[in-house]
Amino acid sequence: MRSRDGNYSFSLSVCTLILFYSTLLSADEYLISYRYTVKDATLYSETLHVSKAMKKCSGIPQKELVLDTNEQDDLKKIISDNAERFIAYIHNLAMHVKHNETTINSKNTFTTILTLQTTCFKVDFNENFARIAPLK
Amino acid sequence: MKYSIFLSLLLSTSALMAVETIRDGNTQVMSEPTQKVIVDSPSVACPETEQLLTEEKNIRISVTGQGVAPMNTTSPAQAYALAKRAAIADAYRMIAEKVKGVRVEGQDSIQNMMVKRSSISTSVNAMVRNANVVETTFKEGLCEVEMEITLSHSQFAR
Protein backbone atom coordinates (compact mmCIF):
# COMPACT_ATOMS: atom_id res chain seq x y z
CA MET A 1 0.00 0.00 0.00
CA ARG A 2 1.23 3.50 -0.90
CA SER A 3 1.85 5.94 1.86
CA ARG A 4 0.10 9.28 1.98
CA ASP A 5 3.46 11.07 1.97
CA GLY A 6 4.07 9.73 -1.53
CA ASN A 7 1.20 11.81 -2.95
CA TYR A 8 2.16 15.00 -1.13
CA SER A 9 4.25 16.54 -3.90
CA PHE A 10 1.64 15.63 -6.50
CA SER A 11 -1.24 17.20 -4.60
CA LEU A 12 0.87 20.28 -3.87
CA SER A 13 1.63 20.75 -7.56
CA VAL A 14 -2.05 20.33 -8.49
CA CYS A 15 -3.06 22.89 -5.87
CA THR A 16 -0.37 25.30 -7.10
CA LEU A 17 -1.56 24.89 -10.68
CA ILE A 18 -5.19 25.55 -9.72
CA LEU A 19 -4.17 28.61 -7.71
CA PHE A 20 -1.98 29.90 -10.55
CA TYR A 21 -4.65 29.52 -13.21
CA SER A 22 -7.38 30.92 -10.99
CA THR A 23 -5.33 34.10 -10.45
CA LEU A 24 -4.29 34.26 -14.11
CA LEU A 25 -7.76 33.72 -15.51
CA SER A 26 -9.57 35.59 -12.79
CA ALA A 27 -12.84 37.24 -13.72
CA ASP A 28 -13.56 40.53 -12.05
CA GLU A 29 -16.85 42.32 -11.97
CA TYR A 30 -17.08 46.00 -12.76
CA LEU A 31 -19.90 48.51 -12.72
CA ILE A 32 -19.84 50.74 -15.78
CA SER A 33 -22.04 53.68 -16.65
CA TYR A 34 -21.74 56.05 -19.58
CA ARG A 35 -23.57 59.21 -20.45
CA TYR A 36 -23.23 61.95 -23.00
CA THR A 37 -25.12 65.11 -23.71
CA VAL A 38 -25.67 66.70 -27.09
CA LYS A 39 -26.81 70.30 -27.14
CA ASP A 40 -27.98 71.90 -30.41
CA ALA A 41 -26.40 69.12 -32.53
CA THR A 42 -23.00 69.52 -30.81
CA LEU A 43 -21.48 67.20 -28.23
CA TYR A 44 -21.62 69.04 -24.90
CA SER A 45 -20.32 66.61 -22.27
CA GLU A 46 -19.34 62.98 -21.90
CA THR A 47 -18.81 60.93 -18.74
CA LEU A 48 -17.69 57.36 -18.21
CA HIS A 49 -17.73 55.81 -14.75
CA VAL A 50 -15.91 52.55 -14.08
CA SER A 51 -15.67 51.00 -10.64
CA LYS A 52 -15.03 47.56 -9.27
CA ALA A 53 -18.18 45.89 -7.94
CA MET A 54 -18.15 45.68 -4.15
CA LYS A 55 -20.62 42.83 -4.07
CA LYS A 56 -21.17 39.95 -6.43
CA CYS A 57 -23.40 40.57 -9.41
CA SER A 58 -25.95 38.07 -10.59
CA GLY A 59 -26.72 37.17 -14.17
CA ILE A 60 -25.42 35.39 -17.23
CA PRO A 61 -22.68 36.95 -19.41
CA GLN A 62 -24.08 38.27 -22.69
CA LYS A 63 -22.37 39.24 -25.95
CA GLU A 64 -18.70 39.87 -25.14
CA LEU A 65 -16.17 42.38 -26.41
CA VAL A 66 -12.43 41.71 -26.61
CA LEU A 67 -10.15 44.71 -26.05
CA ASP A 68 -6.36 45.01 -26.31
CA THR A 69 -4.86 45.68 -22.89
CA ASN A 70 -1.29 46.64 -23.90
CA GLU A 71 -0.14 45.01 -20.64
CA GLN A 72 -2.35 47.26 -18.51
CA ASP A 73 -4.71 46.14 -15.78
CA ASP A 74 -6.64 49.37 -15.28
CA LEU A 75 -10.00 48.90 -17.00
CA LYS A 76 -10.68 52.61 -17.32
CA LYS A 77 -7.41 53.10 -19.21
CA ILE A 78 -8.10 50.08 -21.40
CA ILE A 79 -11.54 51.45 -22.26
CA SER A 80 -10.10 54.93 -22.94
CA ASP A 81 -7.53 53.42 -25.32
CA ASN A 82 -10.29 51.56 -27.18
CA ALA A 83 -12.94 54.25 -26.77
CA GLU A 84 -14.44 54.07 -30.25
CA ARG A 85 -14.91 50.30 -30.17
CA PHE A 86 -16.28 50.31 -26.64
CA ILE A 87 -18.79 53.08 -27.36
CA ALA A 88 -19.99 51.32 -30.52
CA TYR A 89 -20.38 48.16 -28.44
CA ILE A 90 -22.40 49.71 -25.62
CA HIS A 91 -24.67 51.42 -28.13
CA ASN A 92 -25.86 47.95 -29.08
CA LEU A 93 -26.69 46.97 -25.50
CA ALA A 94 -29.33 49.43 -24.38
CA MET A 95 -29.28 53.20 -24.30
CA HIS A 96 -31.73 55.43 -22.53
CA VAL A 97 -32.72 58.44 -24.64
CA LYS A 98 -33.96 61.65 -23.10
CA HIS A 99 -34.65 64.52 -25.44
CA ASN A 100 -36.01 67.98 -24.66
CA GLU A 101 -36.67 70.56 -27.32
CA THR A 102 -37.96 74.07 -26.78
CA THR A 103 -39.08 76.60 -29.33
CA ILE A 104 -39.65 80.08 -27.92
CA ASN A 105 -40.74 82.76 -30.38
CA SER A 106 -39.50 80.61 -33.28
CA LYS A 107 -36.04 80.12 -31.73
CA ASN A 108 -35.27 76.43 -31.26
CA THR A 109 -32.93 74.78 -28.76
CA PHE A 110 -32.64 71.11 -27.86
CA THR A 111 -30.77 68.78 -25.58
CA THR A 112 -30.40 65.03 -26.03
CA ILE A 113 -28.97 62.83 -23.27
CA LEU A 114 -27.93 59.25 -24.02
CA THR A 115 -27.25 57.08 -21.00
CA LEU A 116 -25.99 53.58 -20.45
CA GLN A 117 -27.47 52.86 -17.05
CA THR A 118 -25.12 51.35 -14.50
CA THR A 119 -24.49 47.81 -15.68
CA CYS A 120 -22.42 45.05 -14.15
CA PHE A 121 -19.77 43.68 -16.52
CA LYS A 122 -17.72 40.55 -16.11
CA VAL A 123 -14.13 41.28 -17.13
CA ASP A 124 -11.57 38.54 -17.83
CA PHE A 125 -8.01 39.88 -17.88
CA ASN A 126 -5.47 37.95 -19.90
CA GLU A 127 -1.95 38.87 -20.92
CA ASN A 128 -2.76 40.85 -24.04
CA PHE A 129 -6.49 41.27 -24.02
CA ALA A 130 -9.52 41.68 -21.78
CA ARG A 131 -12.92 40.15 -22.37
CA ILE A 132 -15.84 42.30 -21.31
CA ALA A 133 -19.37 40.93 -21.10
CA PRO A 134 -22.45 42.46 -19.48
CA LEU A 135 -24.27 40.34 -16.90
CA LYS A 136 -28.02 40.03 -17.39
CA MET B 1 -107.64 38.86 -83.92
CA LYS B 2 -105.35 35.98 -82.96
CA TYR B 3 -102.47 37.58 -84.83
CA SER B 4 -103.05 40.93 -83.15
CA ILE B 5 -102.94 39.33 -79.67
CA PHE B 6 -99.75 37.44 -80.59
CA LEU B 7 -98.21 40.61 -82.00
CA SER B 8 -99.03 42.60 -78.88
CA LEU B 9 -97.54 39.87 -76.69
CA LEU B 10 -94.40 39.87 -78.80
CA LEU B 11 -94.10 43.64 -78.59
CA SER B 12 -94.56 43.75 -74.82
CA THR B 13 -91.97 41.00 -74.35
CA SER B 14 -89.42 42.82 -76.48
CA ALA B 15 -90.17 46.07 -74.64
CA LEU B 16 -89.58 44.40 -71.26
CA MET B 17 -86.32 42.92 -72.49
CA ALA B 18 -85.19 46.32 -73.74
CA VAL B 19 -85.91 47.96 -70.34
CA GLU B 20 -83.93 45.25 -68.54
CA THR B 21 -81.01 45.75 -70.92
CA ILE B 22 -81.03 49.51 -70.27
CA ARG B 23 -81.17 48.87 -66.51
CA ASP B 24 -78.18 46.55 -66.75
CA GLY B 25 -76.35 49.15 -68.79
CA ASN B 26 -77.09 51.80 -66.17
CA THR B 27 -75.81 49.55 -63.38
CA GLN B 28 -72.60 48.98 -65.21
CA VAL B 29 -72.13 52.67 -65.83
CA MET B 30 -72.85 53.44 -62.19
CA SER B 31 -70.68 50.68 -60.84
CA GLU B 32 -67.50 51.77 -62.67
CA PRO B 33 -67.02 55.14 -60.96
CA THR B 34 -67.87 53.59 -57.60
CA GLN B 35 -65.06 51.09 -57.98
CA LYS B 36 -62.69 53.84 -59.05
CA VAL B 37 -63.60 55.91 -56.04
CA ILE B 38 -62.84 52.97 -53.76
CA VAL B 39 -59.46 52.38 -55.35
CA ASP B 40 -58.47 56.04 -55.31
CA SER B 41 -59.82 56.67 -51.82
CA PRO B 42 -57.03 57.57 -49.36
CA SER B 43 -58.88 55.85 -46.51
CA VAL B 44 -58.33 52.51 -48.25
CA ALA B 45 -54.85 53.29 -49.55
CA CYS B 46 -53.47 54.21 -46.10
CA PRO B 47 -53.60 50.79 -44.41
CA GLU B 48 -51.65 49.29 -47.32
CA THR B 49 -48.69 51.64 -46.71
CA GLU B 50 -48.93 51.66 -42.90
CA GLN B 51 -46.77 48.93 -41.41
CA LEU B 52 -48.26 46.79 -38.69
CA LEU B 53 -46.24 44.68 -36.28
CA THR B 54 -47.45 41.12 -36.49
CA GLU B 55 -46.05 37.78 -35.38
CA GLU B 56 -45.10 36.91 -38.96
CA LYS B 57 -43.70 40.28 -40.04
CA ASN B 58 -40.97 42.38 -38.41
CA ILE B 59 -40.69 46.13 -38.90
CA ARG B 60 -37.42 47.78 -39.80
CA ILE B 61 -37.05 51.44 -38.97
CA SER B 62 -34.30 53.41 -40.65
CA VAL B 63 -33.34 56.97 -39.66
CA THR B 64 -30.56 59.43 -40.45
CA GLY B 65 -29.18 61.52 -37.60
CA GLN B 66 -27.13 64.67 -38.05
CA GLY B 67 -24.47 66.22 -35.88
CA VAL B 68 -21.86 68.94 -36.19
CA ALA B 69 -18.39 69.22 -34.72
CA PRO B 70 -17.69 71.84 -32.05
CA MET B 71 -15.71 74.93 -33.08
CA ASN B 72 -12.75 74.33 -30.77
CA THR B 73 -11.50 70.96 -32.02
CA THR B 74 -7.78 70.25 -32.21
CA SER B 75 -7.81 67.95 -35.24
CA PRO B 76 -10.13 66.79 -38.03
CA ALA B 77 -10.20 63.34 -36.44
CA GLN B 78 -11.48 64.77 -33.18
CA ALA B 79 -14.06 66.82 -35.06
CA TYR B 80 -15.23 63.69 -36.84
CA ALA B 81 -15.46 61.66 -33.62
CA LEU B 82 -17.43 64.35 -31.79
CA ALA B 83 -19.74 65.04 -34.73
CA LYS B 84 -20.42 61.34 -35.09
CA ARG B 85 -21.34 61.08 -31.42
CA ALA B 86 -23.81 63.95 -31.82
CA ALA B 87 -25.26 62.37 -34.97
CA ILE B 88 -25.76 59.04 -33.19
CA ALA B 89 -27.64 60.79 -30.39
CA ASP B 90 -29.85 62.47 -32.99
CA ALA B 91 -30.52 59.13 -34.69
CA TYR B 92 -31.43 57.55 -31.36
CA ARG B 93 -33.82 60.39 -30.69
CA MET B 94 -35.48 59.83 -34.07
CA ILE B 95 -35.87 56.10 -33.41
CA ALA B 96 -37.37 56.82 -29.99
CA GLU B 97 -39.75 59.34 -31.54
CA LYS B 98 -40.95 56.80 -34.08
CA VAL B 99 -41.30 53.87 -31.73
CA LYS B 100 -42.54 55.47 -28.52
CA GLY B 101 -43.82 58.89 -29.56
CA VAL B 102 -43.34 62.52 -28.61
CA ARG B 103 -44.89 64.51 -25.83
CA VAL B 104 -45.78 68.01 -27.04
CA GLU B 105 -46.76 71.00 -24.94
CA GLY B 106 -47.54 74.46 -26.22
CA GLN B 107 -48.23 77.77 -24.56
CA ASP B 108 -49.11 81.15 -26.06
CA SER B 109 -49.38 84.30 -24.05
CA ILE B 110 -51.40 87.13 -25.55
CA GLN B 111 -51.44 90.71 -24.36
CA ASN B 112 -53.44 93.55 -25.89
CA MET B 113 -54.60 91.27 -28.69
CA MET B 114 -51.01 90.42 -29.65
CA VAL B 115 -48.96 87.28 -29.16
CA LYS B 116 -46.34 88.19 -26.59
CA ARG B 117 -44.69 84.82 -26.12
CA SER B 118 -45.16 81.56 -27.95
CA SER B 119 -43.46 78.43 -26.69
CA ILE B 120 -43.58 74.81 -27.80
CA SER B 121 -41.73 72.15 -25.87
CA THR B 122 -41.37 68.55 -26.96
CA SER B 123 -39.83 65.67 -25.05
CA VAL B 124 -38.93 62.07 -25.75
CA ASN B 125 -38.10 59.49 -23.10
CA ALA B 126 -37.32 55.93 -24.17
CA MET B 127 -34.97 52.97 -23.91
CA VAL B 128 -33.54 51.82 -27.24
CA ARG B 129 -31.87 48.45 -27.65
CA ASN B 130 -30.17 46.75 -30.61
CA ALA B 131 -29.93 49.79 -32.87
CA ASN B 132 -27.21 49.48 -35.50
CA VAL B 133 -25.17 52.06 -37.37
CA VAL B 134 -25.47 51.31 -41.09
CA GLU B 135 -23.53 54.13 -42.69
CA THR B 136 -21.60 57.22 -41.62
CA THR B 137 -20.76 60.20 -43.81
CA PHE B 138 -18.79 63.30 -42.85
CA LYS B 139 -18.83 66.26 -45.17
CA GLU B 140 -18.02 69.93 -44.50
CA GLY B 141 -18.31 69.57 -40.74
CA LEU B 142 -21.65 67.79 -40.86
CA CYS B 143 -21.80 64.14 -39.89
CA GLU B 144 -24.72 62.00 -40.96
CA VAL B 145 -25.31 58.60 -39.41
CA GLU B 146 -27.81 56.16 -40.83
CA MET B 147 -29.17 53.86 -38.14
CA GLU B 148 -31.70 51.10 -38.25
CA ILE B 149 -33.59 48.99 -35.76
CA THR B 150 -35.67 45.88 -36.34
CA LEU B 151 -38.79 45.51 -34.22
CA SER B 152 -40.22 42.06 -33.73
CA HIS B 153 -43.51 41.03 -32.18
CA SER B 154 -41.77 38.91 -29.53
CA GLN B 155 -39.99 41.98 -28.12
CA PHE B 156 -43.31 43.55 -27.20
CA ALA B 157 -45.16 40.39 -26.22
CA ARG B 158 -42.89 39.63 -23.25
ipTM reported for the complex, 2 dp: 0.74
Is A108 part of any domain?
Answer: yes
Instruction: Look at residue A17 in the predicted model and tell me its pLDDT.
Output: 53
Q: Which residues are B139's β-sheet partners?
A: B142
Is A8 part of any domain?
Answer: no
pLDDT tens, residue by residue, A80-120: 888 888 888 888 888 999 999 999 998 999 999 999 999 99
pLDDT above 90 (res B102): yes
Cβ-Cβ contacts under 8 Å between A and B: the total is: 92
For residue B44, what pLDDT band results from cuts at 50, 70 and 90? very low
Instruction: Look at residue B5 in the predicted model and tell me its pLDDT.
Output: 63
Asked whether the beta carbons of residue A103 and residue B121 sit closer than 8 angstroms, the reply is: yes
Dihedral sign from CA coordinates of B20, B24, B27, B29: negative
Q: ∠A107-B97-B142 over CA atoms, to 5°? A: 60
Instruction: Indicate the number of domains in chain A.
Output: 1
Which H or E run includes B41?
none
Asked whether the beta carbons of residue A114 and residue B70 sit closer than 8 angstroms, the reply is: no
Q: Domain span at residue B34?
A: 2-156
Instruction: Indicate the number of domains in chain B.
Output: 1
Q: How many CB atoms lie within 10 A of CB B89?
A: 26
pLDDT tens, residue by residue, B73-85: 889 888 998 899 9
pLDDT tens, residue by residue, A5-46: 556 666 656 655 554 454 445 578 999 999 999 999 999 999
Q: In this structure, are residues B133 and B147 in contact, taking their beta carbons and an 8 Å threshold?
A: yes
A24 and chain B in contact, CB less than 8 A: no
Instruction: Look at residue A92 in the predicted model and tell me its pLDDT.
Output: 83
Hey, of A82, A97, A110, A111, which one would you mutate to test binding to chain B, going by the most B CBs within 10 A of its CB?
A: A97
Q: Which residues in A lie closer than 8 A to residue B125 (C-beta atoms)?
A: 97-99
For residue B28, what pLDDT band results from cuts at 50, 70 and 90? very low
Q: In this structure, are residues A124 and A131 in contact, taking their beta carbons and an 8 Å threshold?
A: yes
Asked whether the beta carbons of residue A99 and residue B86 sit closer than 8 angstroms, the reply is: no
Higher pLDDT, A125 or A23: A125
Is A102 part of any domain?
Answer: yes
Is A14 part of any domain?
Answer: no
pLDDT above 70 (res B86): yes
Chain B residues with CB under 8 Å of a chain A CB are 66-70, 81-83, 85-86, 88-90, 92-93, 95-97, 117-133
> How close, in Å, is residue B47 to chain A by CA atoms?
30
Instruction: Look at residue B4 in the predicted model and tell me its pLDDT.
Output: 61
Is A16 part of any domain?
Answer: no
Instruction: Look at residue B105 in the predicted model and tell me its pLDDT.
Output: 96
Instruction: Look at residue B26 in the predicted model and tell me its pLDDT.
Output: 44
Q: Domain span at residue A70?
A: 28-134
Is A23 part of any domain?
Answer: no
Q: How many CB atoms lie within 10 A of CB B146?
A: 16
Asked whether the beta carbons of residue A38 and residue B133 sit closer than 8 angstroms, the reply is: no
From CA A40, how far away is CA A37, in angstroms rounded?
A: 10
Is A100 part of any domain?
Answer: yes
B-contacting residues in A 85-104 (Cβ below 8 Å): 87-88, 91-104
Instruction: Look at residue A12 in the predicted model and tell me its pLDDT.
Output: 59
